[in-house]
Amino acid sequence: MLDKLLRTKTSIFIYLFIFFSIGGFYISFFPPDEPKYVDAALRMIENHNYIIPFFNCHVRFDKPILYYWELVLFFKLFFVEQLIRSGHDFLGLIEYAAKLPAIISASLSGVYVCLLSKRLFGDEQSAKLSVVGFISVLFFFYLGRAVYPDMSLILFELAGVYYFIENRYILGWLFTALAFLTKGPIGIVSVGFTYFLYLWIVKRSSGIKEFFSLRNGMGFLVFLIVSMPWYVVVYKLYGMEFINKFLIYHNIERFTGAAHQHPHSFFYFFPISVAAVYLWWPFLVDFYKALDFKNKKVIFLFVWFLWVFLFFSISKNKLAHYIAFGFIPLSVLFGLAIEKARNSKIKAFSMFVFEFILGVGLSLYSYKQGMESLMPTLFFGLFFVALTNILKEPKNVAFYKALMLSVVGFVLLFQFEQFRPEKHIWKTVISTSLPLFEYKINNQSITAYTRRCLSEVRDPSYFNSLKGKFFVYTKEKHLNELMGHFKILGKFQDKGKKTVLLLVNNG
């Protein structure tokens, strides 16, 4: 089955598209970041302004424009604006449309991983198995289904590196421009530094001759034509405000630590990297033994991972998926080494016991949290995941376990929707014209779904000045702070906190 699915570039793309589509439907957007992109793209459609992104009625200079355009395209194709305003979406097309840029980017990235492996090592089988490595890295497993620009960024960075290695500079610069339009300067740094590493390690070249070649000059011109117009237009509209917020704050100051958004220690990515290759754990020693570190191309791939890891470890502000680009070369190395690995009875039994105990533990935890309906899926789902460990070939263990985890994860998230507030509040608010307020809580997904610009109310006396009926969303522990007559319309779980939706009637 594995060989048939990965037979051609087309079959690889089709399989990956189906694989990453698992879990793409119906699951509500996860705050804080997913709904920000959704809300901004919807406001572009509503306001016919496709240049400046807004979230919650405020300009959002966090990221460049390309990812918002991707969302706009699929929102229009699937009539997402109309579905949002109707309050009905039985098929979950709103969420699927929002995830399609990531799904398609992940599918294409898998194809480029295969192409890169074949270009470097010329082995068809290793190239196909590198796709298995790609889908079994938990970063791509998640980012390929998330409403984040990172999967699009990784695709453009990977394609840029691939085409530079192929000496197709115009295409290399084109994809670098797309990366720059997706997430800013990091797109240029990632492609450029990785390519120069290839020249220095594999070609034993300084890169000076390639940099000053005519083809590279033509490619750089393409880069400027594609990437710069949006930056120039926004600078003309907002001047130094754009430079200060986007370039200085969200790039330079977040790297140096002057901005404190996600501060973590230098060692933050060490355990995350180990967790990211969870599906490879039984075979890591085999991988190390199988790889020829005298091969310059193997060294290049390892150094590619290392520079990404160290670069973001030095950065003062970190999020787990920042180092995902560094796991592209590890996926290629997986393809080289996996067939030389062996799955012994001890490995299989150890992982089976671990995952079985994990299933039992998570089942008990869900029971204690009052979510008994999740227990069968957690227990039996992880039991069947654990059974994949008995497969003889390690490549099949990784392949089928990734598939099983996708299905189990989707079922769990689908069941968990009954405890989440977003869809319930969306349908309740859309069916009325009543105002909605958030009291001592801030759920960005509610902004995206309800199409309301919301601000967090901190003073309970504010509600005493309001007349008529209105909704209040708050944590359950704050109920005793609210005066007046109210009715509880629903109880939920929001980031581990018990929350409620109230209908307040002030006469």
Predicted confidence (pLDDT) per residue in 138-183, tens digit: 999 999 999 999 999 999 999 999 999 999 999 999 999 999 999 9
Name the residue among 378, 389, 403, 381 with its Cα closest to residue 352.
Answer: 389
Please spell the DSSP secondary structure of 73-140, one letter per residue: HHHHHTTHHHHHHHT--TT-HHHHHHHHHHHHHHHHHHHHHHHHHHHHH--HHHHHHHHHHHHTSHHH
Confidence (pLDDT) at 258: 62
The C-alpha atoms of residue 272 and residue 139 are separated, in whole angstroms, by: 10
pLDDT band for 259, please (50, 70, 90 cuts).
low
Region of poorest pLDDT, from 111-125, 205-219, 360-374, 485-499 = 205-219
Q: What is the pLDDT of residue 247?
A: 81
State the DSSP code for 263: B
- Residue 487: other Cβ atoms inside 10 A: 10
Asked if 463 contacts 503 with a C-beta cutoff of 8 angstroms, the reply is no
Give the long-range contacts of residues 297-303, CB within 8 A, separation 24 or more.
Answer: 297/120, 297/121, 297/202, 298/333, 298/336, 299/201, 300/120, 300/197, 300/198, 300/201, 300/202, 300/329, 301/120, 301/329, 301/330, 301/332, 301/333, 302/329, 302/333, 303/197, 303/201
User: Is-contact 386 351, C-beta < 8 A?
Assistant: yes
Residue 238 confidence (pLDDT) above 90: yes
Pull the structure tokens for residue 183: 């997430």
The torsion defined by the Cα of 313, 299, 132 and 345, in degrees rounded to 10, comes to: -90
Dist. CA 371–CA 360, nearest whole Å = 14
Cβ atoms of 231 and 197 closer than 8 Å: no
Q: Which helix (H) or strand (E) holds 194?
A: helix 185-198
> Which residues on adjacent β-strands are paired with residue 503?
471, 487
Neighbours of 270 (CB within 10 A): 12
Both structure tokens of 390: 């008995």
**How many residues comprise the chain?**
507
Q: How confident is the model at residue 260 (pLDDT cuts 50, 70, 90)?
A: low
Please enumerate in sequence order all residues whose Cβ is within 8 A of that of 235, keeping only pairs 6 or more positions apart, or say none. 242, 243
> Exposure of 393 by Cβ count < 10 A (0-12 exposed, 13-18 middle, 19+ buried)?
middle
C-beta separation of 338 from 397 below 8 A? no
> How many other CB atoms are there within 10 angstroms of residue 182's CB atom?
29
What are the Cα distances from residue 330, in Å, to 308, 363, 424? 12, 33, 42
- How many CB atoms are located within 10 Å of the residue 493 CB? 16
Q: Output the pLDDT for position 215.
A: 85
Would the pLDDT of 102 be above 80?
yes
E strand or H helix that includes residue 488: strand 485-494
Q: What is the pLDDT of residue 433?
A: 83
For residue 251, pLDDT beyond 80: no
pLDDT tens for each residue of 55-82: 999 999 989 999 999 999 999 999 999 9
What pLDDT shows up at residue 3? 75
pLDDT attached to residue 262: 74
- Measure the CA–CA gap between 125 and 361, rounded to whole angstroms: 39
> Treating both helix axes as pointing N-terminal to C-terminal, what angle do 214-238 and 169-183 enclose, rounded to 10 degrees?
20
What pLDDT does residue 263 have? 82
Measured between alpha carbons, how far is 73 from 155 in angstroms, rounded to an integer? Answer: 18
User: What is the layout of strands, in order, in the sheet containing 497-505?
Assistant: 456-457, 436-439, 469-475, 497-505, 485-494
Confidence tier at 210 by pLDDT (50, 70, 90): confident
35: pLDDT strictly greater than 80: yes
For residue 370, what pLDDT is reported? Answer: 85
Q: Is the pLDDT of residue 484 over 80?
A: no
Q: How far apart are the first and last CA of the chain?
A: 66
Q: Is 432 helix (H, G, I), strand (E, B) or coil?
A: coil
Question: Which residues on adjacent β-strands are paired with residue 501?
Answer: 473, 490
**Of 168-172, 262-266, 461-465, which range is least confident?**
262-266
* pLDDT at res. 212: 79
Q: Model-level pTM?
A: 0.94
How far is residue 187's CA from residue 231's CA, in Å, rounded to a whole number?
Answer: 15
For residue 446, pLDDT beyond 90: yes
| Listed range (243-252, 315-324, 427-436, 439-448) with the worst mean pLDDT | 243-252
* pLDDT reported for residue 316: 86
Provide the H-helix boundaries in 420-471. 422-430, 444-450
d(CA 332, CA 158) in angstroms, rounded, equals 12
The 3-state DSSP class for residue 423 equals helix
CA dihedral angle for residue 392, residue 394, residue 395, residue 401, rounded to 10 degrees? 90
Q: Do 72 and 116 meet the contact criterion of CB atoms below 8 Å apart? A: no
Check pLDDT > 90 for residue 483: no
Condensed to tens digits (0 to 9), the pLDDT of residues 314-338 reads 998 888 999 999 999 999 999 999 9
Longest dimension (CA), the chain: 79
Q: Could you tell me which of 480, 470, 474, 479 has the C-alpha nearest to residue 499?
A: 474
pLDDT of 257 higher than 70: no
**Cis (ω within 30 of 0) for the bond into 32?**
yes
Residue 351: pLDDT above 70? yes
Supply the pLDDT for residue 89.
92
Mean pLDDT on 460-487 = 91
Whether residue 253 has pLDDT greater than 80: no
Arithmetic mean of pLDDT over the chain: 93
